[in-house]
Amino acid sequence: MKYRFKYLLPLLLCAVTGTSLAQTNSELGPNASLDDLITYALHNKIDLKQAQLDKEIGEKEIASALSGWFPQINATGSLGHAIQVPTVNIGGSEVQMAQKNTSALTFQAEQSIISPQLFQASKASRFIRERNDLNVESTKINTIVDVSKAYYDILTSEEQIKIINENITRLERQLTEATSRYEVGLVDKTDFKRAQISLNNAKASLKSALENRQYKYDFLKSLLNIPTQESVSLSFANQNMESNILLDTAEILQIANRVEFKQIQNLQEIQKLNTQYQKWNFLPKLNAYANYGLNYRNNEFSDLYSNNIPSSNIGLSLSVPIFQGGKRLHEIRKSELQEQRLELDLQNLENQISAQYSAAMASYRANMNEWRNAKGNMELSEEVYNTIKLQYDAGVKTYLELMTAETDLKTSQLNYLNALYAVLVSKLDIQKALGTVTSNN
């Protein structure tokens, strides 16, 4: 057992600086590794699907906004019947000024030449695409970290169950030995009753561990967007943990690498563009237009469309905003204040990232110390248990001392596992704080 725990947990891709995904298969097969889980999650997680849909929606919004640069063509039709036709008296004669039946079909084409809204839409498209890409990237990073932690948590539970089962096997053997010694009169009934109590407690711990493991599998399924009633088979191929859990603690924090930092910078660019748009509202709006109309008039409805009187014209329309109650000035100032607020948001984020990194690094170093201490205690407890077991078999040590050594062994093994899991989680937190968890999918 001494070297059994050197190969418990695999780090796989998330244990190095960044996670690269080479697979493109979205199907999760049996004995899935961490790499398989991450690949599957990046194809099926609901949050990611929503982010991808938001990206597609953003593209349609951009296309819709930019469509204003194309000619806008409309057609208008009318059909009318005058119940009373207007008449005027000219030279003593009553002259009708119109005909009873009229119809018209007008085609109008309009082309924007100067438009503040279209200027903004053209310049904003790049930043909107960048915003949507950053949103997808942020969701991917969170997915990688969450799935990795869930995988390590399940692996820790699997190893805990193995430890408890080994403990149950030892206790069953000790119960048999204690019962045999009691039956031949070597010891009183206290020893085998203590053994029975310890065995019952171990079985209760096993049941709790199995229930907890089921919850962890269900949580992983929720991350993968897999129904809880379906089964998931995981692979826990052993890796050398002694070398993989190490991290370069001297790596310098580059806040600009964080996707959250880039997102606020993107918002700043969009807000600056909005300020410019408010200034563009002082510009006139200039459009070119062309009209062509088909006009029909006749007193007899049956002959209405027998004669067409066409009309057409082209021209420019200019709209100059002169006074709007100071609205444009207020909008400019409001947008400038929103720029200042985003600058404060960026400063606040820098402070938060620095504190997050500091906390993650402190947690990692503390967990590494706990892990080294737990590893030493586990090795010592194995040695103590083996020695006391030999002495108990020889009749030198009491059963109570053997039970104490066995409890210390189980506790040290579980502490080792928990410390190892804590190191893995804190390392992932550092990688996330550094902005080195990436995905290529």
Q: How far apart are CA 423 and CA 418, in angstroms?
A: 9
The radius of gyration of the chain from alpha carbons, rounded to an integer in Å, stands at 39
pTM of the model: 0.80
Q: Residues 68-87: what's their mean pLDDT?
A: 91
The neighbour count for residue 137, using CB atoms within 10 Å, is 16
pLDDT band at 130 (very low <50, low <70, confident <90, very high): very high
Phi and psi for 248 in degrees, rounded to 5? Answer: -75, 100
Which helix H or strand E contains 370, and what residues bound it?
helix 327-393
Query: What does the DSSP 8-state code read for residue 189?
Result: T
β-strands 101-114, 72-81: how paired?
antiparallel
pLDDT of residue 25: 42
pLDDT digits (tens, 9 = 90+) for 253-311: 889 989 999 999 999 999 999 999 999 989 899 999 999 999 999 888 888 998 899 99
Query: What does the DSSP 8-state code read for residue 36?
Result: H
Nearest to 292 by CA among 275, 307, 312: 312
> Which sequence spans correspond to the domains of the chain?
4-70+115-284+324-434
Higher pLDDT, 49 or 185: 49
pLDDT digits (tens, 9 = 90+) for 262-273: 999 999 999 999
Query: What does the DSSP 8-state code read for residue 257?
Result: G
- Most distant pair of Cα atoms in the chain: their distance: 147
* Homologous superfamily of 4-70+115-284+324-434: Outer membrane efflux proteins (OEP) (1.20.1600.10)
pLDDT digits (tens, 9 = 90+) for 115-128: 999 999 999 999 99
The dihedral over CA atoms of 391, 392, 398, 404, expressed in degrees to the nearest 10, equals 90
- Residue 333's alpha-carbon distances to 102, 206, 273, 284, 395, in angstroms, are 53, 66, 13, 21, 90
Phi and psi for 298 in degrees, rounded to 5? Answer: -170, 145
Phi and psi for 303 in degrees, rounded to 5? Answer: -105, 15
Which helix H or strand E contains 387, and what residues bound it?
helix 327-393
Sign, CA dihedral 315-316-317-318, equals: negative
Mean confidence (pLDDT) of the chain:
85
